[in-house]
Chains A and B, each alone.
Chain A
């Protein structure tokens, strides 16, 4: 499996958890409601959506569940399932809120925690409801049957009923979404006055739509639709998956480069070098794990090197003022460096050491053209000069990635819209002081219930996506632990910072992913212990964040301006310590 595949499934999980955590960002970050039972709504969303895509229960087999609506026309599909799951989770959130929301913060937290455990126990104990303690399976994600995209299969559109060629349609949809998301991100970076590459790339990527005075969202939509139509057309006329995939992949890389270089501009040379040193140091510190022979050396060596690295970082923070001032940016640069090396260089070490130059080139190519999956038995074959024969396909993960990215950005947009409206202003006021809100003629109760409904609906939406992603549900997945993971994610990025939630989800899952990879270098008997150790490490991570970064990595966000402006009018603010140490990445 190429590294690109690992990253894609990583981004899918990050997206789903970001949406889940957005529920808590709204409830806790914006409104101040400490909901320790958020996982309950995740559960509701997951199970409700699944009932819409399960076939009717067969009393003769070993599984039992209360409803299977897959055979019902119009209703029995994922689209309806997800919508209903979201609505039901929101309604249940409101019902839970009605009696509990008047409680003080800590009582509310405990009560709602209890509610979420009741939900979990219900699923576990009531065997007729969703197969009890055993896994609930037997459904497949939407359109899964059409992947990998390579055959000239047909696709029947739901509702419309027309059949269209599957491959061009699905590829066009995937390409359109990825393209639009990249454009939207680029649109946020663009500053027509100073950054020429960003502007021209934006103009080209939007096929000229950026020339008019359309908003950022519309430009992204137009660009995405044009890109999707073009790639679909190309696939319809010629079997050109590889060229189309190359164009999409390279466009996204170009956007990534522009975004990264905009960040690099803000870093001084010595900060940049310190970051590279930090990233390389981490790489070196992890070397004993794959290369040392004995387990003792693996653990002791890595721990010693990591201690030295953290010690050196700490010392630099204490002695060098510029280092202390930019420590978060230095860590960012270091992470970027580390990830780049991990993504592009490390996969080449194996083939190169074996003297397989073309194998190394193929690996590099596969990681670069991330929009396509390479290798395997099935796929479209291409003969490329210098690389030899390539088997190419578009797998289901990439399609899922497009969907989850779209939903995550949708949730982000919704939260921005909410936070920057007068409604969001009342929510923040409720978080600060309910009595003041009362004295100004507004009923805090009404706003808290609405926040609870909307946040729970987001949790339910994430649950439906999770059900789709995992293709099977058990009650164990919905332990209270998930709430605290979501809370950690919210805290990492900054409790009331909408961008921070995405960053938090990425940081948390990067940590999980890294430990899984490292654990694979240990003997099988020890792997379980290494993975169990992660929970303890997660607790430490929580403590470090709360102690050293009470406002999160990105700090407080300023939502005092409406989203229509497109700009946040906040200038640098003196005297706010949380911002002074680098949390100004807004």
Chain B
């Protein structure tokens, strides 16, 4: 087995608080990795770092052998499109203004247009830099990772409250042709067929999670446990390779927890990889192939559940005396 995610010397601090302080661990492809530790150990920050939502202060994360920062950087095509569009708009506006308003000759207007093009492209580059500075520790491009198959859920559920449960799920899949406005307007037949498929997939997922009775209810009206399930369903609808689950069964009843664990194991056997933060020890011990224990921003120990259960340092730091 090979590592799908390699975390090396990861570091992140907020003001004076060092949340993650040189964490190093691997997640094996096709495994379920549990991430545990006491409150404030840096688990959620680690999640935000490896899902691309935060920019690390130091260290590297490699997903599928490639560094996250490279995965998230705008592709050269994208830079070319935006920079070119910005440049051409300014250039043509400047050229037209020079020709029509200021009454300059053709050559001079073309010159103004060329200068405008350079100015526009420069403005794009400048605002990209300004954006980096403005966003601070937040990375604005984590969506690139979801496209590559690295998906996450949130610890505090982030359901889309105004939308129905089913819509929450139908939003997730990638490369929907109807998300392009031209297709949505002009190729309605193809979009409608795609939507019908999505509808069935979403319904199937809701049935699997046993929340199909609230499929058309607004997500904001669901109970806490139902929201957890919805969040899980949404990330699974993405069909990701590596799923980061932040406390997936907190607030879910025991019978359904059992079912979810079965489901996650089945998915693991089908080749999916999971990394799970969870405080329910029974769940995490039964489910995980490997457990990473974190404390004070560092990895304390990594190993199979039986080993972790016996490890004195883990018992002292986290598990306590049974």
| CB atoms of B89 and A95 under 8 A apart | yes
The smallest C-beta distance from B85 to any residue of chain A, in angstroms, reads 9
Instruction: Please judge, given known A-B contacts A437-B143, A562-B192, A576-B221, whether A67 and B100 are in contact too, CB under 8 Å.
Output: yes
Say whether, besides A422-B195, A575-B221, A99 and B188 are in contact (CB < 8 Å): no
B159-194 contacts to A (CB < 8 Å): 160-164, 166-167, 170-172, 174, 176-181, 184-185, 188, 191-192, 194
Partner of B217, one of A426, A438, A563, A573: A573
The stretch of A13-21, A134-142, A442-450 that contacts the partner chain: A442-450
The complex places the Cα of A418 from the Cα of B154 at a distance, in Å, of: 29
Is there a chain A Cβ closer than 8 Å to B134's Cβ?
Answer: yes
Interchain CB contact (< 8 A) of B127 among A99, A440, A563: A99
Contact B221 A417 (CB under 8 A): no
B185–A417 touching, CB < 8 Å: yes
- Number of B residues with CB within 8 Å of any CB on chain A: 53
* Chain B residues closer than 8 Å to A414, beta-carbon distance: 185
9-residue interface stretch from A193-201, A428-436, A480-488, A527-535: A428-436
Is B163 a contact of A438 with CB atoms below 8 Å?
no
The complex places the Cα of A563 from the Cα of B172 at a distance, in Å, of: 21
- Residue in contact with A438 in the complex, picked from B142, B162, B176, CB distance below 8 Å: B142
Task: Chain A residues near B152: list those with CB within 8 A.
Answer: 439
Interface digits, A562-586 against B, CB 8 Å rule (1 contact, 0 not)? 1110000111010110000000000
Contacts of B259 in A (CB 8 A): none
In whole angstroms, what is the CA distance A435 to B231 when docked? 13
Given contacts A436-B160, A570-B216, A576-B218, contact A442 B179 (CB under 8 A): yes
A443 B160 Cβ-Cβ under 8 A: no
- B143 & A443 in contact (Cβ 8 Å cutoff): yes
The answer on a CB contact under 8 Å between B171 and A426 is yes
Tell me the complex Cα distance, A67–B97, Å. 12
Q: How far is the CA of A435 from the CA of B142 in the complex (A)?
A: 9
A437 to B216, CA, bound (A): 20
| Contact among B154, B162, B217 with A432 in the assembled complex (CB-CB below 8 Å) | B162
Residue contact B163 to A439, C-beta cutoff 8 Å = no
Tell which of A417, A422, A428, A571 touches B160, judged by Cβ atoms closer than 8 Å: A428
User: Is B131 within 8 A of A417, CB to CB?
Assistant: no
A425 interface residue (CB < 8 Å to B) = yes
Nearest residue in B to A447 (C-beta to C-beta)? B179
Asked if B140 is at the interface (CB within 8 A of a chain A CB), the reply is yes
B242 adjacent to chain A (CB < 8 Å): no
Query: How far is B161's CA from A435's CA once the two chains are assembled, in angstroms?
Result: 14
Residues of B within 8 A of A429 (CB): 160, 163, 171
CA distance A418 to B161 in the complex (A): 20
Residues of A within 8 A of B180 (CB): 423
* Cβ contacts under 8 Å, B158 to chain A: 433, 435-436, 439
Which chain B residue has the least Cβ–Cβ distance from A95? B89
- The answer to whether A562 and B195 touch (CB under 8 A), given A91-B89, A440-B146, is yes
Provide the residues of chain B in CB contact with A423, threshold 8 Å.
178-181, 184
How would you classify the secondary structure of chain A's contact residues: helix, strand, loop or mixed? helix
Q: Does B86 contact A (CB under 8 A)?
A: yes
B243 → chain A, closest Cβ, in Å?
Answer: 11
CB nearest neighbor in B for A418:
B184
Contacts of A422 in B (CB 8 A): 170, 176-179, 184, 191, 194-195
**1/0 per residue B210-248: CB within 8 Å of A?**
000000111001000000000000110010000000000
* Residue in A442, A558, A564 whose CB lies within 8 Å of B192: A564
CB pair A440–B171 under 8 Å, yes or no, is: yes
Q: Does B101 sit at the interface, judged by CB under 8 A?
A: yes
Considering the chains assembled together, what is the distance between the CA atoms of A428 and B89 in angstroms? Answer: 29
**Which chain B residues lie closer than 8 Å to A437 at the CB level?**
143, 171
Given contacts A99-B127, A454-B181, contact A425 B171 (CB under 8 A): yes
Contact B151 A98 (CB under 8 A): no
Q: Which residues of A contact B221 (CB under 8 A)?
A: 575-576
CB distance A441 to B143 under 8 Å? yes
CB-nearest residue of chain B to A444: B143
Known: A425-B171, A432-B161, A562-B191; 18 extra A-B contacts, CB below 8 A, are: A95-B89, A421-B181, A421-B191, A422-B176, A422-B195, A425-B170, A436-B154, A439-B146, A439-B151, A439-B153, A440-B143, A441-B151, A443-B141, A496-B162, A556-B162, A560-B164, A571-B216, A573-B217
28 contacts between A and B (CB under 8 A): A66-B101, A67-B100, A102-B131, A421-B181, A421-B191, A422-B176, A422-B195, A423-B181, A426-B171, A428-B162, A429-B171, A432-B160, A433-B158, A433-B160, A435-B53, A435-B158, A436-B154, A439-B152, A439-B235, A440-B171, A441-B145, A443-B141, A443-B143, A454-B181, A558-B164, A560-B166, A562-B191, A573-B218
Please give the residue numbers on chain A whose beta carbons come within 8 Å of chain B beta carbons, in ascending order. Answer: 66-67, 91, 95, 98-99, 102, 414, 417-418, 421-426, 428-429, 431-433, 435-443, 445, 450, 454, 496, 556, 558, 560, 562-564, 569-571, 573, 575-576
